[in-house]
Amino acid sequence: MTEIEKMQAGMWYDANYDQEIVKERYQCFDICFQLNHLKPSEIKRKEVIEQILGYYPENLELLSPFYCDYGKNIHLGKNVFINLNNYFMDGATITIGDNVFIGPSCGFYTASHPLEYKKRNQGLEKALPIKIGNNCWFGANVSVMPGVTIGNGCVVAAGAVVTKDIPDNSLAAGVPAKVIKEIQNQ
Protein backbone atom coordinates (compact mmCIF):
# COMPACT_ATOMS: atom_id res chain seq x y z
CA MET A 1 0.00 0.00 0.00
CA THR A 2 1.08 3.56 -0.60
CA GLU A 3 1.29 5.93 2.37
CA ILE A 4 -1.79 7.78 1.04
CA GLU A 5 -3.73 4.49 0.91
CA LYS A 6 -2.67 3.76 4.50
CA MET A 7 -3.79 7.26 5.52
CA GLN A 8 -7.20 6.73 3.90
CA ALA A 9 -7.56 3.32 5.59
CA GLY A 10 -6.94 4.72 9.09
CA MET A 11 -3.60 2.91 9.43
CA TRP A 12 -0.24 4.27 10.61
CA TYR A 13 1.40 6.11 7.69
CA ASP A 14 4.45 8.27 7.05
CA ALA A 15 3.08 11.81 7.17
CA ASN A 16 6.39 13.64 7.28
CA TYR A 17 8.81 11.96 4.89
CA ASP A 18 6.66 10.41 2.16
CA GLN A 19 7.16 12.75 -0.80
CA GLU A 20 3.71 12.16 -2.33
CA ILE A 21 1.92 13.10 0.92
CA VAL A 22 4.19 16.08 1.56
CA LYS A 23 3.63 17.32 -2.01
CA GLU A 24 -0.18 17.08 -1.71
CA ARG A 25 -0.15 18.89 1.62
CA TYR A 26 2.04 21.73 0.34
CA GLN A 27 -0.12 22.15 -2.75
CA CYS A 28 -3.07 22.69 -0.41
CA PHE A 29 -1.04 25.02 1.84
CA ASP A 30 -0.22 27.15 -1.21
CA ILE A 31 -3.90 27.44 -2.20
CA CYS A 32 -4.87 28.29 1.41
CA PHE A 33 -2.17 30.97 1.37
CA GLN A 34 -3.70 32.38 -1.82
CA LEU A 35 -7.20 32.37 -0.24
CA ASN A 36 -5.95 34.04 2.93
CA HIS A 37 -4.45 36.91 0.94
CA LEU A 38 -7.57 37.78 -1.01
CA LYS A 39 -9.83 40.60 0.10
CA PRO A 40 -13.02 39.31 1.74
CA SER A 41 -15.08 40.98 -0.99
CA GLU A 42 -13.21 39.43 -3.93
CA ILE A 43 -15.39 37.24 -6.12
CA LYS A 44 -12.32 35.07 -6.85
CA ARG A 45 -12.56 33.66 -3.28
CA LYS A 46 -15.30 31.25 -4.40
CA GLU A 47 -13.04 29.90 -7.14
CA VAL A 48 -10.11 29.44 -4.75
CA ILE A 49 -12.31 27.71 -2.13
CA GLU A 50 -13.47 25.38 -4.89
CA GLN A 51 -9.81 24.60 -5.68
CA ILE A 52 -9.22 23.69 -2.03
CA LEU A 53 -12.32 21.53 -1.51
CA GLY A 54 -12.89 20.27 -5.04
CA TYR A 55 -16.45 21.73 -4.98
CA TYR A 56 -18.27 24.78 -3.63
CA PRO A 57 -20.83 24.08 -0.87
CA GLU A 58 -24.25 25.71 -1.04
CA ASN A 59 -24.42 28.99 0.93
CA LEU A 60 -20.97 28.60 2.45
CA GLU A 61 -19.52 31.53 4.36
CA LEU A 62 -15.84 30.94 5.07
CA LEU A 63 -13.81 33.75 6.60
CA SER A 64 -10.03 34.02 6.34
CA PRO A 65 -7.62 33.02 7.53
CA PHE A 66 -8.54 29.38 6.95
CA TYR A 67 -6.14 26.45 6.94
CA CYS A 68 -6.34 22.78 6.02
CA ASP A 69 -3.94 20.01 5.03
CA TYR A 70 -5.53 18.46 1.92
CA GLY A 71 -8.93 20.10 1.40
CA LYS A 72 -10.31 17.17 -0.55
CA ASN A 73 -11.19 15.33 2.67
CA ILE A 74 -13.52 18.09 3.90
CA HIS A 75 -17.24 17.60 3.19
CA LEU A 76 -19.44 20.57 4.07
CA GLY A 77 -23.23 20.63 4.04
CA LYS A 78 -25.29 23.65 3.09
CA ASN A 79 -25.51 26.89 5.08
CA VAL A 80 -22.19 26.36 6.88
CA PHE A 81 -20.50 29.36 8.52
CA ILE A 82 -16.78 29.08 9.32
CA ASN A 83 -15.42 32.04 11.26
CA LEU A 84 -11.86 33.40 11.29
CA ASN A 85 -8.72 31.35 11.93
CA ASN A 86 -10.04 27.79 11.68
CA TYR A 87 -7.85 24.76 10.97
CA PHE A 88 -9.11 21.50 9.48
CA MET A 89 -6.40 18.81 9.80
CA ASP A 90 -8.01 16.56 7.20
CA GLY A 91 -5.82 13.48 6.85
CA ALA A 92 -9.12 11.61 7.28
CA THR A 93 -12.53 12.93 6.30
CA ILE A 94 -14.11 15.79 8.17
CA THR A 95 -17.85 15.79 7.49
CA ILE A 96 -19.87 18.81 8.60
CA GLY A 97 -23.67 18.76 8.29
CA ASP A 98 -26.11 21.48 7.24
CA ASN A 99 -26.64 24.72 9.18
CA VAL A 100 -23.45 24.47 11.24
CA PHE A 101 -21.84 27.56 12.81
CA ILE A 102 -18.15 27.29 13.66
CA GLY A 103 -16.75 30.07 15.85
CA PRO A 104 -13.30 31.62 15.52
CA SER A 105 -10.08 29.70 16.11
CA CYS A 106 -11.53 26.19 16.15
CA GLY A 107 -9.57 23.11 15.16
CA PHE A 108 -10.74 19.79 13.76
CA TYR A 109 -7.85 17.36 14.15
CA THR A 110 -8.09 13.93 12.50
CA ALA A 111 -4.42 13.04 13.08
CA SER A 112 -2.79 11.43 16.08
CA HIS A 113 0.79 10.35 16.68
CA PRO A 114 2.38 7.38 18.47
CA LEU A 115 3.12 7.75 22.16
CA GLU A 116 6.56 6.19 21.63
CA TYR A 117 8.99 8.89 20.52
CA LYS A 118 11.01 6.56 18.23
CA LYS A 119 7.89 5.91 16.13
CA ARG A 120 6.87 9.57 16.34
CA ASN A 121 10.34 10.60 15.11
CA GLN A 122 9.83 8.35 12.07
CA GLY A 123 6.98 10.66 11.03
CA LEU A 124 4.20 8.17 11.74
CA GLU A 125 0.65 9.39 12.05
CA LYS A 126 -2.85 7.89 12.04
CA ALA A 127 -5.92 9.80 10.86
CA LEU A 128 -9.47 9.04 12.01
CA PRO A 129 -12.60 10.73 10.60
CA ILE A 130 -14.60 13.44 12.34
CA LYS A 131 -18.37 13.68 11.79
CA ILE A 132 -20.52 16.66 12.77
CA GLY A 133 -24.31 16.50 12.48
CA ASN A 134 -26.75 19.16 11.31
CA ASN A 135 -27.66 22.34 13.21
CA CYS A 136 -24.59 22.46 15.46
CA TRP A 137 -22.82 25.48 16.93
CA PHE A 138 -19.18 25.59 18.03
CA GLY A 139 -18.04 28.44 20.26
CA ALA A 140 -14.60 30.01 19.88
CA ASN A 141 -11.45 27.94 20.37
CA VAL A 142 -13.09 24.50 20.30
CA SER A 143 -10.83 21.54 19.51
CA VAL A 144 -12.31 18.33 18.09
CA MET A 145 -10.04 15.30 18.29
CA PRO A 146 -9.60 12.30 15.92
CA GLY A 147 -12.47 9.87 15.46
CA VAL A 148 -15.13 11.99 17.19
CA THR A 149 -18.79 12.10 16.11
CA ILE A 150 -20.98 14.99 17.26
CA GLY A 151 -24.71 14.50 16.82
CA ASN A 152 -27.39 16.78 15.40
CA GLY A 153 -28.46 19.91 17.26
CA CYS A 154 -25.40 20.14 19.52
CA VAL A 155 -23.72 23.18 21.02
CA VAL A 156 -20.07 22.94 22.01
CA ALA A 157 -19.05 25.69 24.43
CA ALA A 158 -16.06 27.94 23.80
CA GLY A 159 -12.72 26.42 24.73
CA ALA A 160 -13.99 22.84 24.87
CA VAL A 161 -11.75 19.94 23.85
CA VAL A 162 -13.94 17.17 22.42
CA THR A 163 -12.29 13.78 22.85
CA LYS A 164 -15.38 11.52 22.82
CA ASP A 165 -18.62 11.31 20.85
CA ILE A 166 -21.44 13.68 21.80
CA PRO A 167 -25.07 12.52 21.36
CA ASP A 168 -27.75 14.53 19.54
CA ASN A 169 -29.14 17.68 21.19
CA SER A 170 -26.40 18.09 23.77
CA LEU A 171 -24.61 21.05 25.28
CA ALA A 172 -20.99 20.03 25.87
CA ALA A 173 -18.31 22.04 27.66
CA GLY A 174 -14.96 21.67 29.36
CA VAL A 175 -11.60 19.99 28.99
CA PRO A 176 -12.21 17.25 28.18
CA ALA A 177 -15.70 18.14 26.98
CA LYS A 178 -18.59 16.55 28.84
CA VAL A 179 -22.31 16.73 28.15
CA ILE A 180 -23.70 19.13 30.72
CA LYS A 181 -27.25 19.45 29.49
CA GLU A 182 -29.73 18.10 26.96
CA ILE A 183 -31.08 20.76 24.60
CA GLN A 184 -34.81 20.64 23.92
CA ASN A 185 -34.75 21.11 20.14
CA GLN A 186 -38.36 20.82 19.01
| Residues linked to residue 162 through DSSP beta bridges, in sequence order | 144
Q: Find the length of the chain.
A: 186
Helix axes 44-53, 19-36, angle to 10 degrees: 160
Sign of CA pseudo-dihedral 14, 15, 19, 24: positive
Count of CA atoms in the C-beta half-sphere (13 A) of 130:
26
Q: For residues 52, 160, 169 and 104, what is the CA-based torsion angle, rounded to 10 degrees? A: -40
In contact, 63 and 84? CB cutoff 8 Å: yes
Residues with a catalytic annotation lie at 113
